A and B are shown apart, each in its own frame.
Chain A
Amino acid sequence: MAFDETKHDYKVIGTRPVRPDGIDKVTGRALYGADLSAPGMLTAAILRSPHAHAKIVKIDTSKAEAMAGVKAVVTSRDFGLPEDQDLRDTQDNCMARDKVLYDGHAVAAVAAINAQVAKAALKAIEVEYEKLPHVIDVDDAMKGDAPLVLEGRALETVPEGWSQNVTNYCEFGHGDLDDGFARADLIVERSFKTGATHQGYIEPHACLASMGPDGRGELWCCTQGQYMVREVCAGIMEIEASQLKVTPSEIGGGFGGKTTVFIEPVALALSRKAGRPVKLVMTREEVFRASGPTIHSSTDVKIGMTKDGTITAARADLRYSGGCYPNGTCEMGAQAAFAPYDLKAVRTYGWNALTNRPKEISYRAPGAPTAIYAVESVVDEMCQKLGLDPVDVRLKNAADKGTKSSYGVTFEDIGLKATLEAAKAHPHYTAPLGPNQGRGLSCGFWFNFGGNASVTLSVNTDGTVNVTEGNPDIGGSRASISMIAAEELGIGYDRVRTIVADTTSIGHSDTTDGSRVTFTVGLATIKAARDAKTKMCARAAALWGIDPEAVEWVDGAAQPSGPNAGKFPPMSLAEIAAVSFQTGGPIAGHHESNADGAGVSFGVHLCDIEVDPETGASKVVRYTVFQDAGKAIHPDYVEGQLQGGAVQGIGWALNEEYIYGEDGILQNPGFLDYRVPVASDLPPIDTVILEVPNPGHPYGVRGVGETSIVPPLAAIANAMSRGAGVRLTQLPMSPPRVLSALMAKG
């Protein structure tokens, strides 16, 4: 039998069933990273650098090791030196080897019988530092005389003449810029700076590690990718992957920040040394000081436009710093910067420079929000100068199917124009504004990708189904996967339960990132369900004594596929499952693959803000998100992704920022001083989901988790410009900055 590759007549997809993790989470039954315990467990703590940049001259742990209740102390001496440079950087970030590279860099760790003893032992560790000059700002770091964070790390792509802090360089685009700018009636050139932000997940990093004397280990942790944790930790611990079992806990937010390890190798090393299980939980201060923030950036944008709003040429120079180790986030920003536009002449240049800040780790659409903030701010300024409608200008220049993107790839079906048209037609676009209020708009974009996934779909003898998959659920994927399985099998959503397995229970799955899970695991679930249906049709055929090819699956049951196949009453999934032991054994469908064709995603955000002219404080008073989801599997979760991204972007735009003192020490490592938006700061975030099917998926699914954080930065800056008459080119637009701009305007 064959199954259609595409499906459109949905019974489950597009409905809003109750979320499967809801009761566990609201009753406290869900087990997060810090909730697990083991007999004989020790508590660990980490000693961190008080300096932004310093050579480690000597570490003396003898006094700590001699303390009663201390069972193990580790430093970099307890780790090997991985050959792979990325792995070596990750290990060095977990435990500094020769020098500390940022305030909060780990230098030693203790496992003790309780937290009090562990903390006391940290104070007994003597570290001799030789302070070194530090550099915090990306523009400063690129200068020839800047203090060097690391030496010899520039890639071969970096042109000569830069500071050794410059490690990455990229360039994208096409067309003749000089000719394009010559044809423009208006050219605007502006420079922008954005602060580093933190993903702000509520659950700190936490793990429980247990290494046995036989070299086998177990690790329970909150992570976006248990297989990633296994590969990285096995590499650092110099053990085989099969000897380390990693179980992901329930996760209290990740947003990209849990796609690497910070503490897990340390906990494993302590456990190996102590011979007992070790729990290690970061404090909030540690999360801010030593786990991944975003890049901070400095960007120049130059755009040429004719009087009718046609963009004739565009250029962006993006200088990013991802902290103290090389990273390629500038490549993502440089590719995304002009993605919403169909341009004949465009060029983007990107640099990464090392600074004495923590190692950057991904945060929703890494690199894109800051790039598109700069571009969309300039486009809005040009619309104002030329008296043009901002949606009309974007529609006039919008990328569409067949557009050669600014990063060189020709788009397939995309939903940008549909989202722009939806924004223009929405009542929000023409609603009256109050005093001191302004309305801003911005486009957003993200690539999305697929990757590896493994799925097993087991048909139980009572007619229920279990789906086992390997991607931690950070945005509702268990519900989506159950719905996809139910849809394919023709059974109710309540008959399916999806679980996220440990690394020994199912094959490899890539990390939950890149807006990939509903697309990729969903695709694997479709294939696994179709595999199971094929097997169930074969069981029915065997019972009926007909050819399996003469059986088809309709509405949750096997039935003869035509009059020549014979007359037999349909056999439901439950009926086939009930006799599965008698007809050949348990029934399960499987699929393992590396999926591609994820399909890019576009969104448009519309935002009203009100600025207090006396204080410079601004408040978002209305906000609407328009985004192409391809096909929304569970619209509640899609709306949640759109709202969550918008809120995080609002925080980035208005308040959130890593603030460093002259001494290179982080000044605001806590939620009191690092201000994320809370419910009372925000209006309801309205959402409009558009569905322009992704041709690379049988249901048309596109990832939705990242695009929504991209537009808020510029949407709010544009609203402020239109409402308060000041164009801020530095984020966050905190009240002192806004007040200063208002006073300068007079």
Chain B
Amino acid sequence: MVKVTIMGALRHAIDGKAEVEVEASTFKELIDKLSAEYPGLKPQIDRGVSLAVDGRIYREAWLTPIGEAREVVLMPYMKGG
């Protein structure tokens, strides 16, 4: 199980909690499971999210392994100039 920190504005979709535990080994598995188990998260996931895994931010790298991660944070999709 991976413990995922969810950004504040999405916590309404996970009963107000700050973290959820999900059985997932990759970025893709994680967002699929989150969408399935917490449908309130799906619109944001469909629009785009980034994932921080042990301090590194990933935007679209679905195959990134997260099974051994100490910290996983679901973030907004990064943009820049």
Contact = CB atoms under 8 A, between A and B. Distances in A.
Interface of A: 155-157, 169-174, 199, 255-257, 259, 328-329, 331-332, 335, 347, 362-366, 407-412, 446-451, 513-516, 594, 596-598, 696, 705-706
A647 B16 CA distance: 44
A598 B59 CA distance: 11
B30 to A, nearest CB: 15
Interface in B14-61: 18, 40, 43-44, 50, 52, 54-61
Contacts of B44: 155-157
Nearest to A363: B81
A157 B9 contact: yes
Given A173-B8, A335-B76, 5 more contacts: A156-B40, A365-B80, A366-B80, A409-B71, A450-B59
A596 B57 contact: yes
B57 A449 contact: yes
Nearest to A598: B57
B56 A597 contact: yes
A93 B9 CA distance: 28
Contacts of B1: none
B79 A328 contact: yes
A171 B78 contact: no
B73 to A, nearest CB: 4
B58 A596 contact: yes
A170 B61 contact: no
Contacts of B64: 596
B81 A409 contact: no
Contacts of B75: 335, 407-409
A610 to B, nearest CB: 31
Contacts of B76: 170, 328, 331-332, 335
B43 A155 contact: yes
B81 A696 contact: no
Contacts of A256: 80-81
22 contacts: A170-B8, A170-B76, A332-B76, A332-B79, A335-B76, A362-B81, A364-B81, A365-B80, A407-B7, A407-B73, A408-B52, A409-B57, A409-B75, A410-B54, A412-B55, A447-B80, A449-B50, A449-B57, A451-B60, A514-B80, A594-B61, A598-B57
A156 B43 contact: yes
Chain A interface main SS type: loop
Contacts of A448: 80
A240 B15 CA distance: 43
A199 B81 CA distance: 10
A450 to B, nearest CB: 8
Contacts of B71: 409-410
Nearest to B42: A156
A642 B79 CA distance: 20
Contacts of A410: 54-55, 71
Nearest to B54: A410
B55 A362 contact: no
The residue among B18, B58, B78 with the most chain A CB atoms within 10 A of its own CB is B78
Contact of A172 (B8, B52, B81): B8
B81 A514 contact: yes
Nearest to A364: B81
B39 to A, nearest CB: 11
The residue among A332, A335, A449, A696 with the most chain B CB atoms within 10 A of its own CB is A449
A407 B40 CA distance: 21
Contact of B55 (A157, A255, A411): A411
B7 A408 contact: yes
Contacts of B10: 157
Given A170-B7, A409-B52, A410-B71, A362 B80 contact: yes
A29 to B, nearest CB: 28
Nearest to B5: A408
Contacts of B9: 157, 169-171
The 6 closest A-B CB pairs, nearest first, are A256-B81, A514-B80, A171-B8, A362-B81, A409-B52, A331-B76
A13 to B, nearest CB: 23
A405 to B, nearest CB: 9
B69 to A, nearest CB: 11
A412 B57 contact: no
Contacts of B59: 449-451, 594, 596
The residue among B12, B40, B54, B56 with the most chain A CB atoms within 10 A of its own CB is B56
Given A157-B44, A409-B55, A513 B60 contact: no
Given A408-B5, A696-B56, A513 B43 contact: no
A449 B73 contact: no
Contacts of B12: 157
Contact of A412 (B5, B7, B56, B78): B56
Given A410-B55, A596-B64, A449 B7 contact: no
A706 B61 CA distance: 23
Contacts of B57: 409, 447, 449, 596, 598
Nearest to B76: A331
A171 B7 contact: yes
A366 to B, nearest CB: 5
Nearest to A157: B9
A331 B57 CA distance: 15
Contacts of B60: 451, 594
Contacts of B40: 156
A255 B80 CA distance: 10
A596 B57 CA distance: 7
